[in-house]
Every structure is written in C-alpha cells, then in structure tokens.
Structure 1
Amino acid sequence: MPERESQIESNPNEIERTDKEYVFGTWSYQKEVSPTQIVDADGSRFTTADGNEYIDCSSQLMCSNLGHSAERVVDAIEEQVQKTAYVAPNYTTESRAKLGKKLAEVTPGDLSKTFFSTSGTEAVEAAIKIARFYTGKQKIISRYRSYHGATYGSISVTGDPRRLASEPGIPGTIKAPDPYAYGSTLDPMESVEYIDEMLELEGDTVAAILVEPIVGSNGILVPPNEYLPRLTEIAHDHGALLICDEVMTGFGRTGEWFGCDVFDVEPDIMTMAKGLTGAYQPLGATIVNSELAEHFEENMFCHGHTYAGHPTAVAASLAAIETYQEENLIERASEVGEYLGDRIDELAEKHPSVGDTRGVGLFRGIELTKHPEMRVPFGERDDKISAGTTIVDEVSATASDNGVYVANMINTLIIAPPLTITENEIDTAMEAIDVALDVSDDAMSTD
C-alpha cells in the first residue's frame, strides 16, 4: 500500500478553504467540515487536488452506480443541452416520454406512471402525498433505522437521529421496529408481526407503510426472504399501501434491478434517485401502479415542481438505463457482488472487530464491535448528531490513507462500489480495508 498524507490532517488548498468559508457542509458541525477537492474521476477511481488517487468503494454517496466515465450518459446530456436546456413541466421532450415508458418496463409488476423530481427526498415527498391523496388517510408507518430524505416530510418519516433537530415534523408519522437481527431485541419476523399489531391498533387510519427493502445508510440491513412479502400482505390486509424506497437499492445495486426484486415483491409505489442517472444529473422519480394512476384521471394530482422532468436529467437517465441494459451491468453486479461478499467474509475471519457482515450484490456492510460475544458497537446512533470522530471514522480514514474511499454510517462500513468495478480493484480495496481494520482490532475491549 502506498503511503499518503491523511485527508484528515492535510493542509487545505485555496479551493478547499474557499469552499469551507462560503459553503455549508451537510449534516455536520461547521467547525469540523474539511472538504477535499476532487479534480478528476475515471471508472471506479477519483483523484484529489493533492494528486492522490482513490478507489471509490462507496460510489460517493452510494449513487455513482455507473462509475465516473459513462460516456453514453455524458453524450446524452450534451446533446440535450444543445437542443434545449429546459422546458416547463406542461411541455415534454422525447427523453421524458421514453424514460416514463422505460421505467414501466424495468420496474416490477404493474408500476406504470411516474412523477419526476430532482432528488430522492422529493421522490419520497411525492409518495407520501400520493398515498394520502389516494387513500384519504393520513398516517405513514416507517421504521426507526431508516433514512428517507432531508425535506420536511421525508425527514419526518426518517427514523435515524438526524430527524430530531427538525421535530416536530409533519403529523401522522409513526415509527416501527426494524429487521435487525444483530442489534435488536426482536427477531426480524417478530418485528414484522409487531407492525401488523400496530396497524390493527391504529384502526383504519394508515395510508401506507414506507420501507427501504434493504436498509441503506442505517447499516445495510437485509431482511429474511419472507419479511417483505409478509409486510406487503399486512399492509394490504389493513387497506394500506406499500411504498418501497429504492433510492439507494435501485438500478443494480443489489444485483437485481431493484431491492424489492430480491424478494419478489411488487410495491404500490416506488421511489428512486441516485442510480436512476448514475448521479450524472440530479433526478428523482416516484412511480405508481395502474390503479393509483387511474385514480388521478378524475382526482387532481395536486403536486409539482419547476424542474419536474428536467430535460437534461431525464436524458441522462434514459442513457443510464440503456447502459445498464446493453452492458449487462445488473447481472454483472450480481456476479461481482458474490466475489466481493467472499472477500469481505475473508476479512471477517481475520479481524475480531468485525462483528457482522451483511449484504447482497454490490451493497455490503461491515459492522464493527468492541466485543464480539457481547456485540458492543464502536459507533452509536447518537454519533450521527454529535461532534467528534469515532473509531469507525478512524477506520474509514485509514482506508483513505491507503487509497480507498469507504463511507461509514454509525457502526457500519458501507461497501457499495460502482457496478463497473473489477475484481482486481476489489482485491486492492480489500487490502486497504484489511489494514484499516487493524485500527478497530487494536481498540477492542480487553476485559
């Protein structure tokens, strides 16, 4: 592994200093913000202003599914800008119409009509409103270990502690337990039956259950195969809709088109973003089944955005989906994902601080522990809203010092590289993470 200067200790350049002074860093105490300038990116790698190159082992924010050199997408954006950069939402473009049809083809079941926005949080906002419009009910059940976005409705249905500063949020949001075998008092299937009881006790007032099929930034939580089918059954038995938030799990991340495909489930509403364009343009989407679509023929769809269906964004998305299809990237993610999973399991056998490994496809998590028998985490939920760094942060920083970018959330390293990553690049990344895990091994409890 080449030696390099720690990103945490590096001296900022003029661009980094200017950014820190004039731009808010997200989800952070501003005194701790230390932006790093990226000057180039190609494939599964990016280069910073100090000349260091990194393997992007988390696809930035789990969104650069196509890597950093998808020329077809770049060309589509350029071509659209040359034609027209913007049209009002009451007009359309060829790409918007074709993308709507394409999403109806690649999404499961009867999902058929889409509202386009500019981000995952906006896609969730639309889903909440659609569920309420359609059912005439107000309550939304989501889960405690969840993230659905930063805008007011989306942060209200989010479970993780980042919601707390924005409370009270929108009314009618209720939190349920999660299918988290490693860190919960409930067995995963007990947790889903608990949701059944919640719906029973709430009476006929719940519009929808909103879940990530596989929880993303709260730990890569993969439920048992029977969990999501049972949850769908519970929702429909109580007259509620099932909303699947596929913002992070969509477009090949799990080795299937969508996370719900892993469990053969057809949601009533699906939200998506991130891999929708491979992050080449900001675009969110909310797709509904034909029954919901038909409802709005005679009932007002009371929602909209200035940039709904922005021409360059939908052109990028159409090109991205065509790239997934023509380069067989969904199937490839499944195959390469098995290799990644095997390599992660090898690290788990070597490092006692690895308490659990989870995931499917190219969506993997390494959860750390101070004491494996007692399952004591290094990172706690409150760390998301606290100042300072944790051992988990130090592990990620050490991986960065050795040329690999790895995001971490609470107590879990998130391994979610671009779908284009090679096995050789995975091997290189695992070498860096191997070194980084020595940090957590050394910090384990000795009693």
Structure 2
Amino acid sequence: MSQQETSADDLNEIEQMDREHVFGTWSFQKEVNPTQITDTDGVTFTDADGNEYIDFSSQLMCSNLGHSADKVKTAVSEQIDEAAYVAPNYTTEARAKLGKKLAEVTPGDLSKTFFSTSGTEAVEAAIKIARFYTGKQKIISRYRSYHGATYGSISVTGDPRRLESEPGIPGTIKAPDPYAYGSTLDPMESLEYIDEMLELEGDTVAAVLVEPIVGSNGILVPPDEYLPRLKEIAHDHGALLICDEVMSGFGRTGEWFGSDVFDVEPDIMTMAKGLTGAYQPLGATIVNSEIAEHFEGNMLCHGHTYAGHPVAVAAGLATLETYQDENLIERSSEIGEYLADQIENLAEDHPSVGDTRGVGLFRGIELTKNSEERVPFGTREDKISSGSTVVDEVSATAAENGTYVANMINTLIIAPPLTITEDEIDDAIEALDAGLEIADQAMEN
C-alpha cells in the first residue's frame, strides 16, 4: 500500500507514534499518515510491510548517490570519531578541502563559500550577502519557484505555499517564468518583462534570484539563450544574478550545475541536496571573488552554530569525490538520454500526458485532462488545499506497482539517483505506465 492511500487505522505502532508526536510537513495534520521505512539499498527503499520501491525521485530530489554510497558513510563515521563538532571559528580538514573543491567544480570565478545546514538557509545567506554587497534591498524572483521555508526564502518563493506566511520580508518582487506550456508569455517575452521591471524599480534591486531549471514547480527548462540574457539584464541594472542550484546541482542535469547547461556563471550560487547526496544536512552559498573581497573590509553579518558542521562537510567532500571517482556527472548525461527516450515512448501511449521536459536525470511529465486546451488535473490552489488530486492517484498507483515518484501541483518529477541502471528505469517506467492509466480514464470526454 502506498503512503498516499494509507489511512490512520492502517498505521503500525511506530507510524502511529510518529503521527501523534511529530508534525508532518506542508500538510493538514489530519491527512498525515507516515510510512515507516526500514531499509534502503542502491536505488531502492523498503517499508515496514516489506514493500520495495524504486526511488524514481531520489526522495525529495536529493539522494543523488542513491542509498549505498559507502565512501560517504565511512567519511561520516571517521569524522565523528575525530571530531563530532567544533565551533565555526575552528576548522577541519574536510571543511577546508570542501571549500576548495567547490571553487573548482562551480562555474568560473565562484570561489568562497558559506556553509549552512539546508537549502533554505543557503538562500537566506544569499539574500543577505546580495543586500550587504550592493547596499540595495529588493530581490526579484519568479512566480513558479521554490526557494525554501524560512522567512526570507519563503518570501522570495513564488509557489503558493508562501501565501500563509505573507507579508514576509519587505522588498521581494515576483516576475513571470519561462513556462512555454502553461504561460501566456513566451519564455523570452518574460525576460523583456523582467528587464522592464528592473527599469521601473530604478537602482533599488540587489539581485535577481532564479532556479536555472525550475524544480518543484514543474521542471521548467528555459531556452538556451534565456539565462545568459538574464544575467546581462541584471548587470545592466546594477543587480546581481543568484542561481538557486539546490535541486538542479550536482549532476542532476547531466552537468555539475544547471548553470553549466547554459554556460552561465552566476554572481552567487546556492546549493544543498546533492551536495551530500542527502547523507547529511548541508547547504552552501558560494560567491565570486569580487564579492568575497568586499567582505575582507566589511563585516559578513551572518552565521550560526552549525555553520560548516564537521560531519556534514565530511559527507560533502566524500560525495563530491564520489561524483568524480565514479564519473557520475557524465553518466547522468548519458543515461539521462535513455530516460528521456523511455519517457517519450510512455507519453505516446497516454493522452493524459500534456508535456514532457527536462535534461539529464531531471525530468518532468505534466498531465492534462484536455490536451487541446491544456487543462491541468492539479492547480496551484491544490498545493495549499485539503484532499488529493488525480496526479496524487497516479503517484499512488505507481507506488502500488513498486515505484516512488514525487508529484508537485500537476507534474510528475522524475529525478532518480545518478546510479540508476537502464533495467531499473524500465521497471519504473512500467509502474508509471500503470499509474497514467488512471489519468487517461479521468480525462474530459
């Protein structure tokens, strides 16, 4: 039985205990019925009833190495033995080496990193750094975006989950997105809109903040020329470009980062998720050398207890070494093409598939109840409403057939570990095939 279909009466003792004493995230608590996971291996995980699932979304698009990364496990254990924690004014070998390695693998002149514990904290740091460096306050982000749950990050988020937290921090402005399938604006027209926004805001915008490839709001891949032109527009108006690579980083796109797909060097980049393959909570905010130099004589008025936590950065260093040692970035690009072909073949058999898009192992399947009019099954309002949608039912049916796939609003998010094989992709596609039958049957006549 999938998590989506589990009722409170079906929960075991551990699940009942968790439901009673632990808040579920982004949920009406009456609808939270957690599934206990008892084992993981490779690209699969197993629940307390013995059901095994192919992890076709890397949990929350974060388990890039799958669940059997021995080098990372060893690094965590050894670091705990050496020093489980030291204050941020001290350092460890792993922290120094991870900072250097990030400077090596990130685009261009990005060179100095602030380590935090999550993607939302990485974005918080980026917002503050941009404001400190430019002396300006405003941040332009986009409507179809997710940047985190803390107050600054949720304020720049466009996803409707922000609404309950508004008004949020001052100075945040939303722009349109490069959404060819579902927007009234052509992707490049949306750039002209942002250009005009910056003009009308005057010299008050510190940064434009975007996901190079939008993640949980639909796997939106812009045209090749979009991100380079966005950087030009931002700089023309004295604003920085911040790229949120929390979901699109570390091989997910077939490149190290989503920015690399478009050959763009942001001024600031945020990271998390694949930074440790989710073996430890770790976020990072890296800046170019000019911004780094600014803080030699100006205070970086930011920090927290777990900045650069020794165990987390040890996991991060071992994770990056694993990407390199096992050539997983290149592999993501190669097997991503196989995944794309299988998704296209699947789409041909299901009229409820309105659009497919993505790069590497970062793919989306958007559903429709009316392909001619592009009517979605799931809407933005569903994100903050009670009950389930047809898209939820598709995921639930895939789970019944042995494959976990996340869905957000109206899109199935296909983002398996970089270690997945062609045979495992085939098995997962077969489960999705069964799930999409539900959507086909629910289409408007």
Note if 1:132 corresponds to 2:131: yes
Counterpart of 2:365 in structure 1 is 366
Distance 1:5 1:234 in 2: 46
Offset of residue 9 of structure 1: 3.5
Offset of residue 6 of structure 1: 7.2
Distance 1:267 1:57 in 2: 30
Counterpart of 1:158 in structure 2 is 157
Gapped runs of 5+ residues in structure 2?
Answer: none
Offset of residue 81 of structure 1: 0.1
Counterpart of 2:118 in structure 1 is 119
Offset of residue 8 of structure 1: 1.2
Counterpart of 1:352 in structure 2 is 351
Match of 2:6 among 6, 9, 22: 9
With structure 1 as the length reference, what TM-score do the two structures score?
Answer: 0.98
Distance 1:55 1:192 in 2: 38
Counterpart of 2:252 in structure 1 is 253
Distance 2:5 2:349 in 1: 27
Q: 1:388–1:137: structure 2 CA closer, same or farther, 3 Å change rule?
A: same
Counterpart of 2:221 in structure 1 is 222
Counterpart of 1:170 in structure 2 is 169
Offset of residue 7 of structure 1: 5.5
Do the aligned residues in 2 keep the contact of 1:245 with 1:272 (CA within 8 Å)?
A: yes
Q: Deviations over 1:222-253 (max 9, x none)?
A: 00000000000000000000000000000000
Letter in 2 for 1:383: D
> How do 1:10-409 residues align onto structure 2 when only pairs under 5 Å count?
11-409=10-408
Do the aligned residues in 1 keep the contact of 2:353 with 2:368 (CA within 8 Å)?
A: yes
Q: Deviations over 1:273-312 (max 9, x none)?
A: 0000000000000000000000000000000010000000
Distance 1:7 1:355 in 2: 23
Q: Deviations over 1:171-213 (max 9, x none)?
A: 0000000000100000000001110000000000000000000
Q: 1:5–1:175: structure 2 CA closer, same or farther, 3 Å change rule?
A: closer
Q: Secondary structure at the match of 2:311?
A: helix
Counterpart of 1:443 in structure 2 is 442
Q: Deviations over 1:40-79 (max 9, x none)?
A: 0011000000000000000000000000000000000000
Q: Secondary structure at the match of 1:134?
A: helix
Do the aligned residues in 2 keep the contact of 1:7 with 1:36 (CA within 8 Å)?
A: no
Distance 2:234 2:79 in 1: 41
Distance 2:45 2:240 in 1: 41
- The percent of aligned pairs where both chains have the same amino acid is 83
Q: Deviations over 1:5-60 (max 9, x none)?
A: 77613611100000000000000000000100000001100000000000000000
Q: What RMSD over aligned residues (CA atoms) do the two structures have, in Å?
A: 0.8
Letter in 2 for 1:170: I
Letter in 2 for 1:145: R
Q: 1:5–1:317: structure 2 CA closer, same or farther, 3 Å change rule?
A: closer
Offset of residue 427 of structure 1: 0.1
Q: Deviations over 1:111-154 (max 9, x none)?
A: 00000000000000000000000000000000000000000000
Runs (4 or more) in structure 1 with deviation over 3 Å come to 4-7
With structure 2 as the length reference, what TM-score do the two structures score?
Answer: 0.99
